[in-house]
Amino acid sequence: MAIAFDTLGYAKRLEKAGVSRDHAEAHAEAAKDFIMAELVTKTDLAAALDTATLRLTIRFGAMLTVAVGALATLSKLT
């Protein structure tokens, strides 16, 4: 999901503050290209959470398998 960024409104606000039009437009484009690209969306977070959940489930299953195997080995040794 893309995040909407109003470059025109941003540039106009900079112009109101005394920044030249060319500089305001360049700053707005740079903000869109570099700053907004780094923002995380809800979709990104959901995907990361799904991945983390899957990894934890696999790790837990592996630990449980090793623990059961160790207990079975110990019970046969005694």
Q: What residue ranges do the domains of the chain occupy? A: 1-39, 41-78
Listed in sequence order, the residues at least 6 apart from 43 whose beta carbon sits closer than 8 Å to its beta carbon are 1
Report the distance separating Cα 50 and Cα 54, nearest Å.
6
Residue 68 vs residue 31, higher pLDDT: 68
With a pLDDT cut of 70, the percent of the chain lying above it is 96
Query: What is the mean pLDDT of the segment spanning 31-35?
Result: 83
Q: What is the largest CA-CA distance in the chain?
A: 84
Kindly report the backbone phi and psi dihedral angles of residue 2, in degrees, each rounded to the nearest multiple of 5, phi listed first: -85, 145
Query: What is the mean pLDDT of the segment spanning 52-65?
Result: 97
Report the distance separating Cα 76 and Cα 18, nearest Å.
82
